[in-house]
Chains A and B, each alone.
Chain A
Amino acid sequence: MEMIKKLLIVTFIVVFINGIYPENNGKEILTKVDEYRNYLPENFSMDFTEYTDDGKKELYTIRVYVHNTQKVLCSFLSPSRNLGQYYLMLNNYFWFFEKGMNSPIRISPRQMIMGSASSGDISRIVFSDLYSVTSITDNNEQLVLNLEALPNTGFTYEKMVLTINSKNYKAIKAECYSKTNILLKTINYLEYTFIKEKELLTRFEIINELTQEKSIVHLDNFAARKLPATYFNKDYMKFLNLKD
């Protein structure tokens, strides 16, 4: 009898939670989660630095120039051997160019660029444009969102399980799955910092579940910065000469 009571309560909670957070509210929740990645609605830059899992050795730093959520340009600041390399994301599709090449080459989002982070991890700063929420579960002040990639968006992962704080909508953890339900990566969101009165994600950990490689990512140097619109055209990449 006690068991049945418990089951009824759990069922009630699940139904209730789903009632509070229907699927059409999912996008709203994701938009709130995205707010911690967007320093400004458009035209800003930040530095993306990946460290080894102990956080001591810097692997590389990329400056990410955000024109808007659909147009992002990445330029290497270090190490020196990667200077002059650029990644351009247009509508979630990617191009790579290195000084000395005659033309940019197209790469798929899965083609890893460095360490545990893929091109998509670096240049995609929002969930709401890429994923729909299929279900939401309340789990002790945390919401667990099951995300499914929207078609034709150039998503990085087919499915995600995103755990967020139910009060402030800060992302806590993301589990990234392939189409065949293989767990590819786990991302632990570690630190949020106030930058010019806006609270932003500044540190997270990426665990490659296939290789068990771990790395720490720091985001800093957030600044308003407007590059000419032509910089976000793939045929313009060979004319880029950005150093800061």
Chain B
Amino acid sequence: MREKIVIVIILCIALHVYCEEIDIVNSISFGITNSFFYNFINTDNPLNPGNVLEFELWSDKTVINNLWTISISSFMMFTIDYDLSFFMLEDSVTGEDITDVYKTGDFNDYYHFYLKKLYVDFFLFDGTVVLQVGKVLPEYGVGYIWKPTNFLKNKTGYSKYLVDCYLFYNLFSFELLYAPNRSFIPDDYDDDETMDSFDDFFLFKSSASFDSHILTLLFFMEKDIKTGINYSVQLTDGLIFYVEAVMNFDNYIRRIRKNSEMDFELYNLDAPYPQLLFGINYTPDFIDWTMIGEFYYNGDGFTQQDWDDYNQCLEEIDEFAEPYSELKLYYLDMAVNHFLYNDMSGFYAGLHIRQNDKFFDHLNFEDTLFFSLPFGIQNYLTMVFSFDNARISLIVFNNLYSCNNSEFSFAPNDAFINILLNYKFNL
């Protein structure tokens, strides 16, 4: 870990010294965030009854973020973005400091280094063609709360070894992305059984703007294929409408089923499925607030049969295994890890409201309500007080209501309070 940090620092200094001599554009931003997190644990959670998986009561984490962009003439741009975090965890039952438990792998001595981006852009033909090579995670989609056409989303958020080529022509753009085998697998991934399921993948994207219309077509190929289309249009001065549609021909869907007593199996449902998202973004003319409403049909949501299978497995784990036995923890852990929170229902709706003017020294609000079917409601309220480069944020989450078979009943916490103190400056 220390070696990684030293290498990055030396690399940055070397580039900085070298680039000073050849007239560069150098943008550096530093941010330091202290995050205090307090959980009201959902002890009725069937995935974690009585908090046997030891979800921590509170945690305190300090994160230093550095984003550094260096343009070398008009030909090359180097970007590095990393987090260095220091954290402390407290056991929810005993109240003891349990940070030591996490001293494995990249978690050493209470800190964690996370390299978010490290890539180089090459600008060819006066920027008409851009070649991007390195660790980066492109994002696609026009939705605010959900983005079904963001095909790389399910790749766990990790990014590595990617070659992405962009071609710009007037109001058109094209993108061809290639990622070699296993490039998105986390460092600590050790599931040999599924390791082979990762494959090289390609993505092709074309986008065109016509007046207020933006249309994007996507084609993604790994073992199987996904195709998607997204479109947005400005209908009036304050109203934007957007839609995303996806057809998945892959078998990413994961289900759990019972083979025999205390013998459960994870399997992929091998069937194509569609996804569809509608959204509007509305800003009235009499108030500086924006409202966003989205309706999301998620074709890979659990059917009633899937929920029955899932619940039956959990009931049997609870009934037959000893409360803190390794077997019980193993099965619960398996169920938790393969539970796609916020991706298991067939229908979702979201309502987001926010104050637009976030640039002055005062208090701002935003709130997001999530609805899932079978019925569940969650709410995120965010209040931010800004003063110069400093920000104090209060985020309050509430699992307001969830019926049986709603994934929201599996939320790890009934509520949480997150207080963030952030200071950011740009050079």
Chain A residues close to B by CB (< 8 Å): 59-60, 79-84, 90-93, 99-100, 102-103, 105-115, 149, 152, 154-158, 178-180, 182, 184, 210, 228-231, 233-236, 239, 241-243
Interface presence of B95 (CB below 8 A): no
Which one of B2-10, B119-127, B187-195, B316-324 is at the interface? B119-127
> Complex Cα distance A84/B424, Å?
12
From residue B293, how far is it (CB to closest CB) to chain A in Å? Answer: 14
Whether the pair B288, A112 counts as a contact (CB closer than 8 A) is yes
Which one of B249-257, B298-306, B354-362, B392-400 is at the interface? B354-362
Interface presence of B146 (CB below 8 A): no
Whether the pair B389, A80 counts as a contact (CB closer than 8 A) is yes
Whether the pair A108, B283 counts as a contact (CB closer than 8 A) is yes
Given the interface pairs A233-B171, A236-B127, A243-B27, the reply to whether A82 lies near B139 with Cβ below 8 Å is no
B123: chain A residues at CB < 8 Å are 239
Q: Closest 9 A-B residue pairs measured CB to CB?
A: A102-B139, A83-B426, A178-B285, A235-B173, A110-B283, A110-B238, A230-B127, A230-B168, A241-B71
Whether the pair A80, B121 counts as a contact (CB closer than 8 A) is no
Whether the pair B239, A108 counts as a contact (CB closer than 8 A) is yes
A90: chain B residues at CB < 8 Å are 171, 209
B261-287 to A contact mask, C-beta < 8 Å, 1/0:
000000000000000000001011111
Whether the pair B286, A60 counts as a contact (CB closer than 8 A) is no
Return the chain A residue nearest B211 by Cβ. Answer: A91
Whether the pair A99, B69 counts as a contact (CB closer than 8 A) is yes
Given the interface pairs A81-B388, A100-B29, A179-B285, the reply to whether A108 lies near B127 with Cβ below 8 Å is no
> Complex Cα distance A82/B388, Å?
10
Return the chain A residue nearest B31 by Cβ. Answer: A100
Whether the pair B25, A60 counts as a contact (CB closer than 8 A) is no
> Complex Cα distance A99/B117, Å?
12
> Complex Cα distance A233/B171, Å?
6
B232: chain A residues at CB < 8 Å are 106
Return the chain A residue nearest B136 by Cβ. Answer: A102
B239: chain A residues at CB < 8 Å are 108
Chain A interface mostly: loop
Whether the pair A154, B212 counts as a contact (CB closer than 8 A) is yes
Return the chain B residue nearest A243 by Cβ. Answer: B25
Whether the pair A91, B173 counts as a contact (CB closer than 8 A) is no
Whether the pair B237, A154 counts as a contact (CB closer than 8 A) is yes
> Complex Cα distance A114/B67, Å?
24
Whether the pair B285, A93 counts as a contact (CB closer than 8 A) is no
B287: chain A residues at CB < 8 Å are 210
From residue A56, how far is it (CB to closest CB) to chain B in Å? Answer: 16
Across the interface, A114 reaches (CB within 8 A) one of B26, B27, B286, B359, namely: B359
Return the chain B residue nearest A156 by Cβ. Answer: B237
Given the interface pairs A230-B128, A236-B173, the reply to whether A103 lies near B67 with Cβ below 8 Å is no
Given the interface pairs A112-B288, A239-B130, the reply to whether A84 lies near B27 with Cβ below 8 Å is yes
B121: chain A residues at CB < 8 Å are 239
Given the interface pairs A99-B69, A182-B285, the reply to whether A229 lies near B211 with Cβ below 8 Å is no
Whether the pair A93, B234 counts as a contact (CB closer than 8 A) is yes
Whether the pair B140, A103 counts as a contact (CB closer than 8 A) is yes
Whether the pair A111, B290 counts as a contact (CB closer than 8 A) is yes
Interface presence of B217 (CB below 8 A): no
A-B contact count (CB 8 A): 143
B126: chain A residues at CB < 8 Å are 228, 230
Interface presence of B32 (CB below 8 A): no
A59: chain B residues at CB < 8 Å are 360
Whether the pair A82, B359 counts as a contact (CB closer than 8 A) is yes
Interface presence of B137 (CB below 8 A): yes
Interface presence of B207 (CB below 8 A): yes
Whether the pair A81, B425 counts as a contact (CB closer than 8 A) is yes
> Complex Cα distance A208/B127, Å?
40
> Complex Cα distance A230/B121, Å?
15
Whether the pair A84, B29 counts as a contact (CB closer than 8 A) is yes
Q: Besides A81-B424, A92-B212, A239-B121, 11 other CB < 8 A contacts? A: A84-B27, A105-B144, A106-B240, A108-B240, A111-B290, A111-B356, A114-B359, A154-B237, A178-B286, A210-B286, A236-B127
> Complex Cα distance A236/B127, Å?
9
From residue A181, how far is it (CB to closest CB) to chain B in Å? Answer: 11
> Complex Cα distance A108/B417, Å?
32
Across the interface, A158 reaches (CB within 8 A) one of B67, B237, B356, B389, namely: B237
Interface presence of B170 (CB below 8 A): yes
> Complex Cα distance A41/B285, Å?
32
> Complex Cα distance A118/B171, Å?
24
From residue A14, how far is it (CB to closest CB) to chain B in Å? Answer: 31
B29: chain A residues at CB < 8 Å are 83-84, 99-100
Interface presence of B214 (CB below 8 A): yes
Whether the pair A234, B138 counts as a contact (CB closer than 8 A) is no
Whether the pair B212, A152 counts as a contact (CB closer than 8 A) is yes
Whether the pair B67, A100 counts as a contact (CB closer than 8 A) is yes
B290: chain A residues at CB < 8 Å are 108, 111
Return the chain A residue nearest B287 by Cβ. Answer: A210
Among B140, B234, B388, max chain A CB count under 10 A is at B234
5 inter-chain pairs at a CB distance below 8 angstroms, sorted by A residue, are A59-B360, A79-B389, A93-B211, A102-B137, A230-B127
Interface residues of B in 103-145 (CB under 8 A from A): 121, 123, 126-128, 130, 137-142, 144
Given the interface pairs A80-B425, A242-B25, the reply to whether A231 lies near B127 with Cβ below 8 Å is yes
Interface presence of B44 (CB below 8 A): no
A184: chain B residues at CB < 8 Å are 285-286
Interface presence of B81 (CB below 8 A): yes
Across the interface, A229 reaches (CB within 8 A) one of B81, B170, B389, namely: B170
Across the interface, B69 reaches (CB within 8 A) one of A230, A235, A241, namely: A241
Whether the pair B285, A110 counts as a contact (CB closer than 8 A) is yes
Across the interface, A235 reaches (CB within 8 A) one of B166, B240, B357, namely: B166
A93: chain B residues at CB < 8 Å are 211-212, 234
